[in-house]
């Protein structure tokens, strides 16, 4: 590897970074992360900080999980790659698919389609949803419904169901036949409703209205994150997802739960759907499936959908969709080890327990700092929404956000800024002391502005 000076000097010049302006990145190059240990990462200048971002909502087991590293090394020496296209398969992919259907049995998931990440998983679910209706002889059911503020990755299908203008506008026109309803977001919503349960009902009503307007028999599926992540950790009231399930059932619309962030314990339960006892028709997972050690994702398929595909006698049933890395044996070996560790350490329980402590810390910060307009949390996913004025809820500007996050970094904690939100998604192995440290660094950051 070239020396440190080369890396610092070259940094963003040859790379276009995701979700960033190339010129801005050249002018203000990113931190170069060199090492990870436990819940800590170390940058090129040798500064170690607690990673309150958990990589990108994915490194649930932290950076020192030896069983995953060993599983990857062993699989690399046994078989670094073979495809899962028709005619061949691999041991780890069979084993992991089997494990996933056991793990997500309460959600009614019975089959796995492997992908390379979250965007692929969403794309797969959208495509299989349309195919399901073609098999059932209802080819008019092509439309998708989604929540405003939802995030579903960046492929054209995912971007089309995405509910954030930032990720849509520059890439339009997107898929036709996609419609959005308001998210149950108490801090900002078109109904000016602050009561979470009443708001959940209003948003469910908006879904019903949209279905009536579109015609239920033209809609293939509704997609939602059980807890909205990238849109700013919007936590629907627990009645919302069951209401959505009921409405979807009434109109026979498929329900896709995008669990790319909420899968495997992040929100304090093994899935976001499980939090409210909902059985979706598809679940998309990725990220923590390997704790970020290898790119891997999956679309899980519920019993009703599986039956239709498997009993198909039409010309529509063959799956004309897949990725070179669908079921990558190294990824699946990493996944098996990550899931075993996740289960052994009961990371769902730690996320719930540490999440309660984190919530208290965040409420304290909101009480002390006027710039904190709202705090939202579920398990170990949380957001602080910063505003320049609490009365008008005017979002804090970019400079303010940067000052807060830089000061927190100086105080030893890595934060993520997304718009006017500070997003927290630390590894699920964090301790009570780590939660205190995150709170102190946030306090230091917020005190600067
Ligand atoms: N869905 C959700 C809910 C996500 O949060 C993300 C990524 N943050 C994706 C899909 C896309 O995943 P990926 O970045 O792995 O393609």
Structure confidence by residue, pLDDT tens digits, 40-91:
999 999 999 999 999 999 999 999 999 999 999 999 999 999 999 999 999 9
Q: Last residue of a domain, which of 344, 374, 389?
A: 344
Beta strands, E only, 74-182: 109-115, 143-147, 178-181
Taking CA atoms only, the protein residue closest to ligand 1 atom 1 is 152
Cα gap 184→188, rounded to integer Å: 9
> Are residue 335 and residue 363 in the same domain, yes or no?
no
Phi, then psi, of 308 in degrees rounded to 5 = -65, -45
CA gyration radius, the chain? 22
- Kindly state if the Cβ of 425 falls inside 6 Å of ligand 1: no
ipTM (interface pTM): 0.99
Please give the residue range of the domain that contains residue 45.
31-61+346-447
What is the rounded (10 degree) CA torsion for 409, 152, 229, 197? 160
Residue where a domain stops, chosen among 300, 316, 344: 344
Q: Are residues 78 and 215 in the same domain?
A: yes
Q: 125 CB less than 6 Å from ligand 1?
A: no
Q: Is residue 325 part of a domain?
A: yes
212-223 confidence digits (pLDDT tens): 999 999 999 999
With a cut of 80, say whether residue 1 has pLDDT above it: no
Could you tell me if the CB of 119 is within 6 A of ligand 1? yes
- From 118, 121, 166, the mutation candidate for ligand 1 (largest count of ligand atoms within 8 A of CB) is 118
Q: Is the CB of 229 under 6 A from ligand 1?
A: yes
Residue at 14 is within a domain: no
Whether 1 maps to a domain, the answer reads no
Same domain, 193 and 287: yes
Question: What secondary structure letter does DSSP report for 378?
Answer: E
Q: Is the CB of 427 under 6 A from ligand 1?
A: no
Centroid of chain to Cα 376: 16
Examine the domain organization and report whether 291 and 378 are in the same domain: no
CATH code of 92's domain: 3.40.640.10
- Cα of 261 vs centre of ligand 1, distance in Å, is 7
Query: Separation of 260 CA from ligand 1 center, angstroms?
Result: 6
434: CATH:
3.90.1150.10
The Cα–Cα gap between 281 and 350 comes to 28
With a 6 Å cutoff on the Cβ, whether 275 touches ligand 1 is no
Measure the CA–CA gap between 104 and 271, rounded to whole angstroms: 8
The residue assigned the tokens 């398990």 is 379
- pLDDT surpasses 90 at 365: yes
Longest dimension (CA), the chain: 66
Which token pair is 416?
A: 């993520």
Residue 60's nearest CA partner among 302, 288, 383, 272 is 288
Residue with tokens 């349309």: 130
Number of domains making up the chain: 2
User: What are 123-146's pLDDT values in tens digits?
Assistant: 999 999 999 999 999 999 999 999
The finding on whether 58 has its CB within 6 A of some atom of ligand 1 is no
Is the CB–ligand 1 distance for residue 230 below 6 Å? yes
């Amino acid at each position: 590897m070239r020396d440190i000076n080369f890396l610092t000097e070259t940094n963003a010049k040859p790379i276009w970074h995701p979700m960033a302006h190339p010129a801005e990145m050249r002018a203000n190059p990113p931190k170069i992360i060199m090492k990870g240990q436990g819940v800590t990462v170390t940058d090129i200048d040798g500064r170690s900080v607690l990673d309150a971002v958990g990589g990108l909502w994915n490194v649930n087991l932290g950076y020192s999980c030896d069983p995953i590293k060993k599983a990857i090394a062993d699989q690399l020496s046994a078989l670094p790659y073979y495809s899962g296209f028709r005619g061949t398969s691999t041991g780890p992919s069979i084993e992991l698919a089997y494990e996933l259907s056991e793990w997500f049995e309460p959600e009614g998931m019975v089959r796995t389609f492997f992908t390379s990440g979250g965007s692929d998983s969403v794309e797969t679910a959208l495509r299989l949803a349309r195919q399901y209706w073609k098999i059932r002889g209802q080819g008019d059911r092509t439309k998708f419904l989604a929540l405003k503020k939802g995030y579903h990755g960046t492929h054209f299908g995912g971007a089309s169901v995405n509910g954030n203008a930032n990720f849509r506008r520059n890439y339009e026109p997107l898929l036709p036949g996609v419609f959005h309803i308001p998210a149950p977001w108490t801090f900002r919503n078109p109904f000016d409703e602050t009561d979470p349960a009443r708001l959940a009902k209003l948003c469910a009503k908006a879904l019903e209205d949209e279905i009536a307007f579109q015609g239920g028999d033209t809609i293939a599926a509704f997609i939602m994150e059980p807890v909205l992540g990238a849109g700013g950790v919007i936590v629907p009231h627990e009645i919302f997802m069951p209401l959505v399930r009921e409405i979807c059932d009434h109109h026979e619309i498929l329900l896709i739960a995008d669990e790319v962030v909420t899968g495997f314990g992040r929100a304090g339960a093994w899935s976001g759907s499980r939090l409210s006892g909902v059985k979706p028709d598809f679940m998309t997972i990725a990220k923590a499936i390997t704790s970020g050690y290898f790119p891997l994702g999956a679309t899980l398929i519920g019993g009703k959908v599986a039956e239709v595909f498997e009993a198909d006698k039409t010309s529509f049933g063959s799956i004309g969709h897949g990725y070179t890395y669908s079921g990558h044996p190294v990824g699946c070996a990493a996944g098996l080890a990550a899931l075993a560790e996740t289960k052994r350490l009961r990371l769902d329980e730690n996320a719930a327990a540490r999440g309660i402590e984190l919530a208290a810390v965040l409420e304290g910060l909101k009480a002390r700092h006027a710039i904190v307009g709202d705090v939202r949390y579920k398990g170990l996913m949380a957001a602080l929404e910063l505003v320049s004025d609490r009365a008008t809820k005017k979002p804090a500007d970019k400079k303010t956000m940067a000052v807060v996050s830089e000061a927190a970094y100086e105080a030893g904690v890595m934060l993520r800024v997304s718009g006017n939100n500070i997003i927290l998604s630390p590894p699920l192995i964090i301790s009570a002391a780590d939660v205190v440290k995150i709170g102190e660094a946030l306090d230091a950051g917020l005190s600067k502005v």
